[in-house]
Amino acid sequence: MRNFSTLVFDLDGTLTDPALGVVRCMNYALTSFDYSPLPDHQISKHIGPPLEDTLALLSGSDDKAHISALAAAYRERYGEFGFKENSVYDGVVEMLQTLQRKGRRMIVCTSKLEINAIRVLNEFQLLDYFELVNGAQEQAGPKSGQLAFLLKQGLIDQDALMIGDRHVDLRAASANGLKAAGVLWGYGSEKELQDESPAMLFASPQELAEKLG
């Protein structure tokens, strides 16, 4: 197995399951602007892409100011309650412990607001496993841009491996000439991930730790 210089983890759907908080915050944002609440499954299938993209899709609006207002409402609730409504996937803590013992350098790259990503990681005692947390500053943009920034700043190099559960993670890596791995315990299907030609797929955190540790 190639000795990657840095393991770059997505957050939602990869380290933690955010479904409860995402659904509640999304419906809080929608109902705050007189939209009808949506069923859980209609929201949870969109976990992964940037928040503004999902809000545009669910609201049917292409008004950027309106989408920004919806996102602000979402983040208002998320910053107070939603970040606590995550759960850590079974096996993730043990995976991180193994990788840390093996001396693997690990960072997080997420389209979630950076401050909220740090809140989540801190709430569930995961923060200390990571050298760096990279997230959106004000408005989520494409993850490819975040990886490009990390490369430009010398915070990762071309031997880094992007690890995520959705096509957006794998495409972002490919756009920057990086290898990517998909995880099958999150929100992306095996077909969705296979379509992006990942360097590897992992069925469980245990398998990831064994092969990358």
Per-residue pLDDT of 117-136, as tens digits, reads 999 999 999 999 999 999 98
pLDDT for res 3: 84
Distance CA 87, CA 103 (A): 26
Q: What are phi and psi of 189, to 5 degrees?
A: -75, 165
pLDDT for res 48: 83
pLDDT for res 142: 87
Distance CA 160, CA 179 (A): 7
Q: Which residue has the tokens 């759960």?
A: 87
Q: Where in the chain is the domain with CATH 3.40.50.1000?
A: 7-17+87-212
Q: What are phi and psi of 87, to 5 degrees?
A: -140, 145
Distance CA 135, CA 159 (A): 21
Least confident range of 45-49, 189-193, 206-210:
45-49
User: Angle 131-133-136 (CA atoms, 0-180°, nearest 5)?
Assistant: 165
Q: Is the pLDDT of residue 1 over 60?
A: no
Of 174, 197, 161, the closest CA to residue 14 belongs to: 161
For domain 7-17+87-212, the CATH class is alpha beta
Fold of 19-84: DNA polymerase; domain 1 (1.10.150)
Per-residue pLDDT of 143-164, as tens digits, reads 999 999 999 999 999 999 999 9
- Averaged pLDDT score across all residues of the chain: 95
Contact 105, 131 (CB under 8 A): yes
Per-residue pLDDT of 163-187, as tens digits, reads 999 999 999 999 999 999 999 999 9
Three-state DSSP at 46 gives coil
- Give the mean pLDDT of 44-53: 89
pLDDT for res 87: 96
Provide the residue type at 32 as one letter: S
